[in-house]
């Protein structure tokens, strides 16, 4: 049975001091829950947050990572730097990285491969724009993102991969895919993984939903058979909404 996994992507919010206080509040609130919880603060907050949640069951992740070990890559962060401060999980291919910074499926694949080769867990984000959905290209877009993004990954390495389906048109807009639409997309992603790695791997792969997840819709989304959790944006920035989503994930 797949483990439920709720992740909070803080994006470019919070300074180190306030991030540490908030992270400790989350860790205290979820210490007795049987739900996998992750938070991804900005890079400058990572040392303070990892220290604040030390000894808890809260995972701390980075929002991005480079595909090289070191070198002349101004503004970038390596796997070794993250691991040295206790961060072993990274988000790769978020739609904002694709949209604002031109990250391609091929480039994202390099990051995926480098991260898992460095024994890091990866949340690989995939999802279509509204124009792609309306033009009937949903399945083509998802197939490219999965097949290219996971190119070179072995069946055993898929244990390190979580997939997050985030329809781009629903991120930060207040719009949300209907539970039926979201579950259908998750089922299609699972079928792509089955084609590539086999049914067992597909059935064991956690697929989160991301896209304006909030307390009002979380329970209905989490009840869908192919949705294994959520990658939460804005609603992860305050305690009560985030805890409501975590609690709604109890199937």
List, in sequence order, every residue forming a beta bridge with 39; answer none if it has no partner: 8, 60
166 is catalytic: yes
With b meaning 16 or more CB within 10 Å and e meaning fewer, what string describes 162-171?
A: bbbbbbbbbb
- Summarised one tens digit per residue, pLDDT across range 63-122 is 999 999 999 999 999 999 999 999 999 999 999 999 999 999 999 999 999 999 999 999
DSSP H helices in 118-250: 130-134, 138-149, 179-197, 199-204, 215-222, 239-248
Give me the catalytic one of 68, 94, 119, 128: 94
68 is catalytic: no
- Summarised one tens digit per residue, pLDDT across range 139-189 is 999 999 999 999 999 999 999 999 999 998 877 777 778 899 999 999 999
- Summarised one tens digit per residue, pLDDT across range 190-231 is 999 999 999 999 999 999 999 889 999 999 999 999 999 999
- The strand pair at 36-40 and 229-232 is best described as unpaired
Placement of tokens 């305690």 in the chain: 239
- The strand pair at 121-126 and 89-92 is best described as parallel
Could you give the C-alpha distances from 28 to 23, 52, 58, 114, in angstroms and in order?
9, 10, 9, 33
Give me the catalytic one of 96, 103, 128, 166: 166
- The strand pair at 36-40 and 58-62 is best described as parallel
Global pTM reads 0.96
pLDDT of residue 251 exceeding 60 = no
Contacts of 17 (CB under 8 A, 6+ apart): 48
């Amino acid at each position: 049975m797949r483990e439920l996994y709720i992740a909070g992507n803080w994006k470019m919010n919070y300074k180190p001091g306030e991030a540490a206080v908030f992270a400790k509040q989350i860790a205290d609130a979820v210490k007795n829950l049987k739900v996998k919880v992750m938070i991804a603060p900005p890079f400058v907050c990572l040392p303070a947050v990892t220290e604040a949640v030390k000894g808890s069951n809260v995972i701390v992740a980075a929002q991005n990572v480079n595909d090289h070990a070191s070198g002349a890559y101004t503004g970038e962060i390596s796997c070794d730097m993250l691991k040295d401060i206790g961060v072993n999980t990274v988000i790769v291919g978020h739609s904002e990285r694709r949209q604002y910074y031109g990250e391609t499926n091929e480039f994202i694949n390099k990051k995926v491969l480098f991260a898992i080769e460095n024994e890091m867990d990866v949340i690989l984000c995939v999802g279509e724009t509204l124009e792609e959905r309306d033009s009937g290209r949903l399945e083509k877009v998802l197939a490219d993102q999965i097949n290219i993004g996971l190119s070179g990954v072995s069946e055993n390495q898929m244990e390190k991969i979580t997939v997050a389906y985030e329809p781009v048109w629903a991120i930060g807009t207040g719009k949300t895919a209907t539970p039926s639409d979201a579950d259908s997309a998750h089922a299609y992603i699972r079928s792509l993984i089955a084609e590539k790695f086999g049914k067992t791997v597909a059935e064991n792969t956690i697929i989160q939903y991301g896209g304006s997840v909030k307390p009002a819709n979380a329970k209905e989304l989490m009840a869908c058979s192919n949705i294994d959790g959520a990658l939460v944006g804005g609603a992860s920035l305050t305690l009560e909404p985030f805890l409501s989503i975590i609690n709604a994930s109890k199937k």
